[in-house]
Structure 1
Amino acid sequence: MDRLTNTVRPYAWGSTTAIPNLLGTEPTGEPQAELWMGAHPGAPSLVDRGAGARPLTEIIDADPEGELGAAAVARFGTRLPFLLKILAAEQPLSLQVHPDLDRARAGFADEEARGVPLEAPHRNYKDANHKPELLCALTEFDGVCGFRPPAEAAGVLAALEVDSLKPYVDILRAGPEEAALREVLTAVLTADRGATAESVTEAAAAAARLVDEDGPHRRAYAAYASLADRYPGDPGVIAAMLLNHVRLEPGEALFLDAGVPHAYFGGLGVEIMAGSDNVLRSGLTSKHVDVPELLRVVRFAATPPGVIRPSRAAGATAEEVYETPIDEFRLSRFALTESAGAAELVCASAQILLCTAGTVTVESPQSALTLEPGHSVFVPADEPLALSGRGTVFRATAVA
């Protein structure tokens, strides 16, 4: 196994303190949004096997079956099929959606054929892969995910009593679900920006007033008012009102499949996803927004947020699994105590272990490493391990 040296991504929405506090390091004063663990070519982790630090991508390329496992290579190819992150949001991320595998392949091939540079700011598809993801909260975590039922979305908008939003309310109350959601989101994102800015200003003021009332959407209105403060006049504020507001408690998780619109507003969490960087944005961002392409990808169906709580793994005494329908990744958690003894584990595919609390010892037949919060290790396929100590460890693997 190998201790990982990981890259921090300094996106503007990141917290200046959350990741440094977890790692026990001094803040730099700059945003530290994501800590990447894995072999994504955008920021691969480094490992040192005695000849100096090398990217994990190079280690895997030298012996894919030995590092990833033969079954995983046969199923996912010669790449680590997941990317693990610590995500620290101090400001809202963009309102976004991810493509399914077919659309990602087609979109990537199209942009390649048209010669769109890979790093061009207007490029939609950075790779040919899909990007389902799971976020597990380490602190309270706030966001929106999936469309509300149209009647509920109509009620949220109607309570604002903004005249310019009343046509949307009528459509949501009268039309079939898919058609109504499509028509309203399309109208919101393609309307005249000046008129939309006025609607957002009025809606934000109304949302701020409704925060003081003891209604079922009080927390959601507070979030919408805050969004409008950060992104004045942005149509993404109205679009977010069509989505379920969700607040995760520590240990709870949110699964995001292809086509499901979502945005993270704030909090610290562990995130795992298929190894992709494909994002289509609809608002709450200064980055490229491609409304026609986004509307091709969005799944226009009411989708409950689907908060996931971990369940005990079969045959395990300390491992709790966050179940998802995705094969590229599996995320589980160990809550270790000294009295419970060591947890034994082995996996036919590669895995990454991440400590988020306490002090934990990881032992293999060849070595032993001590992990503290923010430390992580890469474990090749079929290497037996024992975890001991007092703390919390997340385990990322593929389902091979």
Structure 2
Amino acid sequence: MDRLVNAVRPYAWGSTTAIPELLGTEPTGQPQAELWMGAHPGAPSLVERGDGGRIPLGELIAADPGRELGRAAAEAFGPRLPFLLKVLAAASPLSLQVHPDLAQAQAGFDDEEGRGVPPSAPHRNYKDAHHKPELICALTPFEGLCGFRPAAETAALLTALDVDQLKPYADILAAARPEDAALREVFSAVLTADRAAVAETVRLAAEAAHRVAADGGPWAAACGAYAAIARQYPGDPGVLAAMLLNHVRLQPGEALFLAAGVPHAYLRGMGVEIMANSDNVLRCGLTPKHVDVPELLRIVRFESGDAGVLRPEETPEGEEVYAAPVSEFRLSRCVLAPGAEPRALPTGVPQILLCTDGMIRIADGPAERELILRRGESAYVPAAQESLLVDGPGTVFRATVRL
């Protein structure tokens, strides 16, 4: 088990204070959006191993995949850590986006490679051949958009806004026709419409959303979020696309799972995020980055439903697991009470432990070796670790694979 030294990514939407507060460091005055823990080549963690030297985690794994990942994980995913763990701290909305499934990612990557699109090109959609399912667990009250709201409910929302330019969309969504076709038609229309016309519609819709939010009622929270998005991205067609999505608020400890093809955007708050180790993102709007509408519409799944808030399921050993239907990652949490007996965690798989509250002691029983993690600190545990004990008081998140 080895302490990790992790990179902080300074994206413009990040909070200036949340991650420094977690790490116990002074704010720089600049946004600090994501703390990365893993072996992603964009910002690999450094492992403090042996004589005090620091080794990129990816290099460590590549040198001995059997020891670091274990045979089962190495056979399933190759000589790479298949997940990336983050602390995400949003002060303003992220882009509205979707992720491809595994087959779509492979096909898209092969196509762009075959056409010679440079990996660093701003218009490149597929940076790798992997999918990117993800899960976010709130550390603070957290707000986001996730998945399509049932069409009839969105028709009622658009009617409540009472904007003439939105009425044709409301009529399509309210009509007796296949729901997926109605969602596709409206979503496509707002993303492909004339930009000047859309900008005016967004302005009127934002004013109406502000009014509905101020008046209260069933749409107040969602309309407050849409009005805030419009202030951040005036005239962006992504504002209208966002109005088709479920608005969700998470309390600390609650989570969302984002499957392939599900449009989503995080709006504000801090959480622990885990994902398959990929960088494939297709954006719908709310961003100055590249938006490829035809490719996006090919990837989006036009299925409606509840956002699907997850709460952890406790195992007999006291580990709280956030269920997700993927093999690349598994996220769990242990809340360790003062004075409690050390808790044994499973070994034989690669894992990253992150302390988010209090102070955690990690111990290797037979070797009598221990490591102390304070808030914001993390450790990497290779599959070759024979035993693993943790005690507190504190809270530790455990990221590993699900085989």
TM-score (ref. length: structure 1):
0.98
1:89 counterpart letter in structure 2: A
| Deviation, structure 1 residue 78 | 1.0
CA contact (8 A) 1:346 1:382 kept: no
CA contact (8 A) 1:155 1:169 kept: yes
Q: C-alpha separation between the residues in 1 aligned to 2:384 and 2:332? A: 18
Please name the residue that 2:204 is paired with: 202
- Choose from 376, 388, 392 the match for 2:391: 388
- Choose from 271, 274, 298 the match for 1:272: 274
Q: C-alpha separation between the residues in 1 aligned to 2:182 and 2:269? A: 32
Please name the residue that 1:74 is paired with: 75
Q: CA RMSD in A?
A: 0.9
> 1:258-286: CA deviations, max 9, x gaps?
00000000000000000001000010000
| Deviation, structure 1 residue 389 | 1.6
SS of the residue corresponding to residue 338 of structure 1 reads: coil
5 Å-filtered alignment, 1:287-366, equals 287-313=289-315, 315-316=316-317, 318-364=318-364, 365-366=366-367
Q: C-alpha separation between the residues in 1 aligned to 2:132 and 2:48? A: 29
Say if 2:113 is the partner of 1:112.
yes
1:395 counterpart letter in structure 2: R
Q: C-alpha separation between the residues in 1 aligned to 2:96 and 2:283? A: 6
> 1:207-254: CA deviations, max 9, x gaps?
111112231121110000001111000011110000000000000000
SS of the residue corresponding to residue 5 of structure 2 reads: coil
**Which has the higher mean CA deviation after the structures are superposed, 337-346 or 22-31?**
337-346
Please name the residue that 1:48 is paired with: 48
SS of the residue corresponding to residue 35 of structure 1 reads: strand
TM-score (ref. length: structure 2):
0.97
Please name the residue that 2:161 is paired with: 160
* Structure 2 residues not aligned, in runs of 5+: none
- Choose from 223, 226, 246 the match for 1:244: 246
| Deviation, structure 1 residue 121 | 0.7
CA contact (8 A) 2:36 2:87 kept: yes
- Choose from 362, 373, 376 the match for 2:375: 373
SS of the residue corresponding to residue 83 of structure 1 reads: strand
* Structure 1 residues not aligned, in runs of 5+: none
Please name the residue that 1:88 is paired with: 89
Q: C-alpha separation between the residues in 2 aligned to 1:329 and 1:336? A: 23
**Which has the higher mean CA deviation after the structures are superposed, 43-52 or 290-299?**
43-52
| Deviation, structure 1 residue 42 | 1.1
| Deviation, structure 1 residue 88 | 0.4
Runs (4 or more) in structure 1 with deviation over 6 Å come to none
1:112 counterpart letter in structure 2: E
CA contact (8 A) 2:148 2:244 kept: yes
Q: How many residues align?
A: 398
Please name the residue that 2:132 is paired with: 131
SS of the residue corresponding to residue 387 of structure 1 reads: strand
SS of the residue corresponding to residue 41 of structure 1 reads: coil
1:85 counterpart letter in structure 2: K
CA contact (8 A) 1:350 1:381 kept: yes
Please name the residue that 2:36 is paired with: 36
| Deviation, structure 1 residue 346 | 2.2
CA contact (8 A) 1:210 1:218 kept: yes
Q: C-alpha separation between the residues in 1 aligned to 2:156 and 2:326? A: 34
CA contact (8 A) 1:47 1:53 kept: yes
> 1:75-114: CA deviations, max 9, x gaps?
1111111000000001100000000000000000111111
| Deviation, structure 1 residue 59 | 0.4
- Percent identity between matched residues is 67
| Deviation, structure 1 residue 382 | 4.4
| Deviation, structure 1 residue 312 | 0.5
1:397 counterpart letter in structure 2: T
2:119 counterpart letter in structure 1: L
> 1:325-351: CA deviations, max 9, x gaps?
111100000000123211111222100
Q: C-alpha separation between the residues in 1 aligned to 2:229 and 2:59? A: 42
| Deviation, structure 1 residue 361 | 0.5
| Deviation, structure 1 residue 74 | 1.1
Q: C-alpha separation between the residues in 2 aligned to 1:54 and 1:197? A: 49
> 1:350-389: CA deviations, max 9, x gaps?
0000000001100114321111111000001142111112
| Deviation, structure 1 residue 158 | 1.1
